Amino acid sequence: MKLPALLLATTVAAASVTGTAAAQPAETGFVRIDDDITLRRLVVRNAQAKGAVLFLHGFPETILSFKDIAISLGDDFEVHTFDWPGYGESSRPAPDRFAYAPTDYARVLKAYIEHERLDTSKLTIYATDIGALPALLLALDEPGIARRIIVGDFAPFDRPQYMYESLRNLKTPAAAEPTRAAMNATSAEILANVHRRDLPPELQYDLPPELAADMARNWNRDGMTTADAFFHYYGHFTRDQQFFEANVERLGTPVRVIWGERDLYIRPDMGVEFAKKAGVEIDVLPGIGHFPHLQDPQRTVREVRASMR
Among the listed residues 34, 58, 246, the one whose alpha carbon sits nearest the alpha carbon of residue 135: 58
Residue 3 lies in a domain: no
Residue 229 lies in a domain: yes
Distance CA 66, CA 71 (A): 9
Please choose, from the candidates 250, 246, 261, the residue with its C-alpha nearest in 3D space to the C-alpha of residue 292: 261
Cα–Cα distance between 241 and 144 in angstroms, integer? 21
Cα separation, 251 vs 278, whole angstroms: 7
Q: Give the predicted TM-score (pTM) of the model.
A: 0.92
Q: Where residue 47 sits, what CATH number does that domain have? A: 3.40.50.1820
Taking only the tens of pLDDT, the chain with its 309 residues reads 333 333 333 333 333 343 344 557 899 999 999 999 999 999 999 999 999 999 999 999 999 999 999 999 999 999 999 999 999 999 999 999 999 999 999 999 999 999 999 999 999 999 999 999 999 999 999 999 999 999 999 999 999 999 999 999 999 999 999 999 999 999 999 999 999 999 999 999 999 999 999 999 999 999 999 999 999 999 999 999 999 999 999 999 999 999 999 999 999 999 999 999 999 999 999 999 999 999 999 999 999 999 888
Q: State the total domains in the chain.
A: 1
Residue 1 falls within a domain, yes or no?
no
Q: Is residue 98 part of a domain?
A: yes
**Is residue 280, in this structure, part of any structural domain at all?**
yes
> Is 2 within the bounds of a domain?
no
- Host domain of residue 27: 8-307
Q: Is residue 196 part of a domain?
A: yes
In a domain, 119, yes or no: yes
